[in-house]
């Protein structure tokens, strides 16, 4: 749900739409290029853009990663590679958990142009879900962007870790 109350949803044929409960209307925001599989669409904190993951179609797929659509210009790739999870901070920065082949993750802080501002030395083990065939590492940034709460073991959020003192 965006800051203005609109609900973001995916629709057939790669369309992303916003449903406005105030007037019961649905608006198509953009349509993805054919064949792209996406996940985790989220409004930016100011509601002016949408970030989403593009899943790889093959090994080393150059289109895989985190993308941003500001609804005015063509979408742009902010982060290339395997993104296990991401979260917006209110500042507009984005925290990205980059997956590595050894199933350890590297946490990056990006600005909304995709510049890598910093990485964090915390070792984050990717939680792998056999039934979904993908890692699931849920985390969220604090409102001030200086802490991240992250699930450290896949026991349905019973073990929560905290990374504090972020820049």
Identify the three-state secondary structure at position 149: strand
Separation of alpha carbons 70 and 92, rounded Å? 13
Contacts of residue 158, Cβ cutoff 8 Å, sequence gap at least 6: none
The predicted model scores a pTM of 0.76
Q: Quick one: pLDDT at residue 131?
A: 44
Q: Quick one: pLDDT at residue 108?
A: 87
Q: Residues of the chain with pLDDT > 70: what percent?
A: 75
Q: Quick one: pLDDT at residue 23?
A: 94
Minimum mean pLDDT range among 23-27, 41-45, 97-101: 97-101
Could you state, in order of their start, the residue ranges of all structural domains in the chain? 7-121
User: Cβ(77)–Cβ(131) under 8 Å?
Assistant: no
pLDDT, tens digit (0-9, with 9 covering 90-100), for 108-143 = 888 877 777 777 655 676 665 544 445 556 667 777
Separation of alpha carbons 166 and 15, rounded Å? 35
Number of DSSP helices (H) and strands (E) in the chain, helices first:
0, 16
- CATH architecture of the domain 7-121 equals 7 Propeller (2.130)
Average pLDDT, the chain: 78
User: Cβ(145)–Cβ(89) under 8 Å?
Assistant: yes
User: Cβ(125)–Cβ(104) under 8 Å?
Assistant: yes
pLDDT, tens digit (0-9, with 9 covering 90-100), for 75-86 = 899 999 888 889
Q: Quick one: pLDDT at residue 54?
A: 86
Q: Quick one: pLDDT at residue 25?
A: 93
């Amino acid at each position: 749900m965006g800051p203005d109350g609109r609900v973001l949803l995916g629709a057939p044929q790669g369309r992303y739409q916003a449903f406005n409960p105030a007037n019961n209307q649905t608006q198509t925001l953009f349509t993805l290029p054919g064949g792209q599989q996406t996940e985790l669409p989220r409004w930016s904190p100011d509601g002016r853009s949408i970030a989403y993951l593009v899943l790889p179609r093959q090994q080393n797929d150059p289109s895989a990663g985190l993308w941003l659509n500001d609804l005015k210009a063509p979408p742009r790739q902010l982060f290339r590679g395997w993104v296990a999870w991401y979260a917006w901070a209110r500042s507009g920065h984005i925290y990205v958990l980059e997956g590595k082949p050894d199933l350890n993750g590297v946490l990056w802080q990006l600005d909304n142009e995709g510049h890598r501002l910093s990485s964090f030395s915390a070792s984050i083990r990717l939680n792998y879900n056999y039934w979904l065939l993908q890692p699931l590492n849920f985390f969220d940034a604090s409102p001030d962007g200086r802490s991240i709460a992250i699930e450290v073991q896949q026991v349905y959020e019973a073990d929560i870790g905290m990374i504090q003192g972020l820049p």
